[in-house]
Amino acid sequence: MSVSAPSEIGAEFTRAADDLLRGVLGRESVRAEIDRSGWSSVGWDAVVDAGWSSVLLDERHGGLGLGITEVSGIFTAVGRHLLPGPLLDHAIVAPLLANWTSAPAAERLLSATEGARTMTFLDVQARGAAHAKPPRFATAGVYGEVDLVPFGARSDDFVIVAEAGDGRPCVVIVDARTSGVEITETASFDPLTRYSHVSLDGASAEPVLDQGSTQGASIEARLATLRATLRLMIACELSGMARAMLDESVDYARERQQFGKPIGAFQAVQHLLADMCASVLCLDAACEMDAISAAGESGDETIAGLHAKAVASATCRAVAEGALQVHGGIGFTIECDLHRWVQHALALQGVYGDERELARMLGDRLLVGAFEPWG
Amino acid sequence: MSETFETYRGRARTWLENATIPTLPDDFTERFEIGLAWQKELHRSGWVGIHWPREYGGQGLTIEHQLVFTNELVRARAPQPIGLIGLDVVGPTVLRYGTEEQRRRFVPRLLAGDEVWCQGFSEPNAGSDLASLRTSARADGDELVINGQKTWTSWAANADWCAVLARTDAAAQRHKGISYVLVDMRTPGITVRPIVQLTGDAEFNEVFFDHVRVPKGNVLGPIDGGWSMALDTLAHERAGYALRRGIENEVSYLQMLDAIRSDSEQPGNKDELASDLGMTYVHLRAFRALTQRTARRLLADDIPSPYDSVDKLMLGASEQRLFGMALDLLGPSRMAPSSRPHGLHADQIIKGYLYGRSASVYGGSEQIQRTLIAERLLGLPRSR
């Protein structure tokens, strides 16, 4: 067994992100804005200024050129402190596409990593709809429907996974305010996300990554890497959320008194919290191991992404339910902060597949011997 | 400077490729004999006591070398050495707390498989509440006289020696007044009664002590000071056990997967099979992630730790999930050991499932572990 340790720089980023977000999102006014609008201008400006979108970006584009084990801790902190906004799109999708592509339109991705424009990634597979049809891209423009687009109404640009004329996938960029784009806000129960439905009817689009511009790897392989990385980072975010819900629950169990003692002195409550704690630690370890495995030479990033996201989806859902139980009546109200994590966890559970879907994808691969389980 | 892990791994792999690896038979007594012969062979070639000091028969290497070899054993589908109570628990306690004379007397033979150990801790009325044990060891001149009864004593019928926790001071409070006594199983007054377990094996025994006389020189550590020693060592060994058992479960999974893949008939719902296999893989791989941290704690000598309780809890859960899934794949053949649904070996799965139910009981039940996590990791008030 090789015993690999997490990265030092990653730990630095985690601490810095934690401090920054605690400071900004701890403010009463910021939380009120988020509750009202599902957005925080102060919070978003702060992360843009912090330069998190440049962590993965190559040095030739003015980035830091680091890897996913360095950036993952930022997402754990985002989950812990519940920052709203398309950070995955800005800190993962934009820099990776910019690193890979030779297309001239890559310049437009950099306006997202620099924070000049707000960008959202539209991938029908993100909604768990592996079988859903992606939009079509033809010379005249892009055509199709994408549902449940987070922050769609706040976006300046859409980066869209589409199907090119030759049947192969490609990624194109569309100005959200151009003609042929229709954005309809749809209802959301997640206090951290506002959804939109995006209709594309001949909207003018430029390719940012296609088979002609991938510089070596196939477009399919690039998209697989992108989705694996997104799954890993969402897993980290869920891990931060699960940890926060556990901490909230332990604090509450120490404080809340019944029968003349804290409810955390009762074994029934203790054992529920102990189970939550064990699964939170396991998720944290899984995120770390899978990120290291995906970043390594011999690791299988797709498997690592499927695994981390499966553990995260199952764990965060179970921890949310445990936390609600520990909090009793107050947990059932929006007066208690817990509801933000709970509802956001339910929203993220299914993004790029929930645990059932992902377990099936892993099982399918295991049955045909597509990878060595303990390789 | 010891050899690098990669060279060591290569040497271990080559040795295992050339060795005749035994298949352990069904019959318990035969299995014990073959396992013991395998331990002796491993020892002759320097694969036992890898991180133990050379002067007591070990190889003087590091715990990481030991982890490398454990992995190679599993990779080669080879059994572990049989004398695990000695290797995992009694030996380390003797090394840590024994006199020089005791170390030289007991450790080399224990490593060589020349002497097999069992551990007399649990009693009919002292399970999770081990400190309420009642077996007594009364001083009489240069000897202790032991009276009482131990139970769930694994391998007692095959063991040469037993590490007994006994009360040397009847007046002292629970945890005080307990001593750790090394008892020769051939001493007059010892009766062993095997107990057949759910798996059909008689690994368990009851051990009765009727005026058993033991020299005082066989007390390990101070008289009346056995309790903390015993617990400390148990805790020390927990981390290594979680790592090894985790790997064994991975091998069981791999064997099931091999069987299912090579099954030509592939009956039933493929989607459901993929879901079950996938979800179990998710859990086993998450446990592997957890034990990578355990390995780091071991290497940093950061054990025992309250995190060991997390490992223990999750190990039980993942082992039970693995065999629970496998048992369900047997369908109506759940209790028919000779059937082969999905190509699976029902006999191994039935035994694995039944044995797995003990994973949340032995070495501190899952309820005890949860209480420890609540108190020591989460800082919740004591509930007792």
CATH number assigned to the domain comprising residue A107: 2.40.110.10
A27 lies in the same domain as A106: yes
First to last CA, chain A: 11
Picking from A209, A229, A257, the residue at the C-terminal end of a domain is A209
> Percent of chain B beyond pLDDT 90?
76
A233 lies in the same domain as A331: yes
CA distance A64 to A52: 10
Per CB-CB distance under 8 Å, the chain B contacts of A369 are 261
CB contact under 8 A, A363 and B287: no
ipTM of the modeled complex: 0.95
Where b means 16+ CB within 10 Å and e means fewer, B325-360 reads: bbbebbeebbeebebebbebbbebbbbbbbbbebbb
Picking from A185, A209, A233, the residue at the C-terminal end of a domain is A209
Q: What is the pTM of this model?
A: 0.94
Nearest CA in chain B to A293: B289
The mean pLDDT value for B329-337 works out to: 94
What is the CATH number for A234? Answer: 1.20.140.10
CA distance B63 to B240: 9
Averaged pLDDT score across all residues of chain B: 93
A226 lies in the same domain as A202: no
Amino acid at B163: A
DSSP E strand boundaries for A136-273: 136-138, 141-150, 157-163, 169-175, 181-186, 195-203, 205-209, 257-258, 261-262
Predicted pLDDT of residue B349: 96
How many C-beta atoms lie closer than 10 Å to residue B21's C-beta?
12
Amino acid at A68: I
Delimit the domains of chain B by residue range: 5-112, 117-224, 228-377
Residue A3 in domain: no
A244 lies in the same domain as A200: no
Give the model confidence (pLDDT) of B125-134 as tens digits: 998 899 999 9
Q: Are A172 and A184 in contact (CB under 8 A)?
A: no
pLDDT category, B269, cuts 50, 70, 90?
confident
A260 lies in the same domain as A358: yes
A226 lies in the same domain as A175: no
Task: Write the CB contacts of A103 (distance below 8 Å, at least 6 apart in sequence).
Answer: A206, A207, A208, A209, A210, A212, A213
Predicted pLDDT of residue A130: 59
Picking from A158, A181, A209, the residue at the C-terminal end of a domain is A209
The DSSP code sequence of B294-357 is HHHHHHTT--S-THHHHHHHHHHHHHHHHHHHHHHHTGGGTT-TT--GGG--HHHHHHHHHHHG
A347 lies in the same domain as A229: yes
Q: How far is CA A253 from each of CA A324, A342, B246, B297, B307, rounded to the nearest angstrom?
A: 12, 18, 33, 29, 21
First to last CA, chain B: 50
Predicted pLDDT of residue A1: 40
The DSSP code sequence of B219-269 is EESSTTBHHHHHHHHHHHHHHHHHHHHHHHHHHHHHHHHHHHHH-SS--S-
Residue A340 in domain: yes
- What burial class does residue A260 get, using C-beta atoms within 10 Å of its C-beta: 0-12 exposed, 13-18 middle, 19+ buried? exposed
Is B172's pLDDT higher than 90?
Answer: no
Residue A1 in domain: no
Predicted pLDDT of residue A204: 96
A205 lies in the same domain as A275: no
A297 lies in the same domain as A358: yes
CB contact under 8 A, A285 and B292: yes
> Could you say which of B68, B250, B374 has the minimum Cβ distance to residue A273?
B374
Residue A280 in domain: yes
The mean pLDDT value for B175-185 works out to: 96
Per CB-CB distance under 8 Å, the chain A contacts of B379 are 250, 254
Look up residue A222 and give its two tokens. Answer: 């690039």
Q: Are B306 and B371 in contact (CB under 8 A)?
A: no
Predicted pLDDT of residue B154: 92
Nearest CA in chain B to A289: B289
Predicted pLDDT of residue B4: 85
> Could you say which of B250, B274, B375 has the minimum Cβ distance to residue A374?
B250
Of A174, A166, A161, nearest to A205 by C-alpha is A174
Question: CATH classification of B5-112, choosing from 1.10.540.10, 2.40.50.140, 1.10.287.10, 3.40.710.10?
Answer: 1.10.540.10
Per CB-CB distance under 8 Å, the chain B contacts of A1 are 67-68, 71, 243, 247, 292, 295
Task: Write the CB contacts of A51 (distance below 8 Å, at least 6 apart in sequence).
Answer: none
Give the model confidence (pLDDT) of B82-115 as tens digits: 878 888 889 999 999 999 999 999 999 999 999 9
CATH number of the structural domain B228-377:
1.20.140.10
Q: Are A205 and A173 in contact (CB under 8 A)?
A: yes
CA distance B323 to B331: 13
Look up residue A255 and give its two tokens. Answer: 């404080």
Report how many Cβ contacts below 8 Å link chain A to chain B: 153
Is B251's pLDDT higher than 80?
Answer: yes
CB contact under 8 A, A314 and B274: no
CB contact under 8 A, A270 and B374: yes
A166 lies in the same domain as A62: yes
Predicted pLDDT of residue B348: 92
Of B344, B350, B348, B345, nearest to B266 by C-alpha is B344
Domain range for residue A117? 8-209
Work out the minimum CA distance from A255 to partner chain B, whole angstroms: 10
In chain A, how many domains are there?
Answer: 2
Nearest CA in chain A to B257: A367
Per CB-CB distance under 8 Å, the chain A contacts of B289 are 282, 285-286, 288-290
> Could you say which of A254, A360, A369 has the minimum Cβ distance to residue B275?
A360
Predicted pLDDT of residue B27: 85
Predicted pLDDT of residue A2: 47
A165 lies in the same domain as A306: no
Residue A261 in domain: yes
pLDDT category, B304, cuts 50, 70, 90?
confident
- What burial class does residue A255 get, using C-beta atoms within 10 Å of its C-beta: 0-12 exposed, 13-18 middle, 19+ buried? exposed
A283 lies in the same domain as A353: yes
Q: Which CATH architecture has domain B117-224?
A: Beta Barrel (2.40)
Per CB-CB distance under 8 Å, the chain A contacts of B240 are none
Mark the ranges of chain A whose per-residue pLDDT is less than 70.
1-6, 128-131
Catalytic residues of B: 237
> Could you say which of A288, A310, A359 has the minimum Cβ distance to residue B289?
A288
**Mutation site for B-interface testing, chosen from A236, A367, A371, A372 by largest number of B Cβ within 10 Å:** A367
DSSP B126: B
Look up residue A228 and give its two tokens. Answer: 């694996």
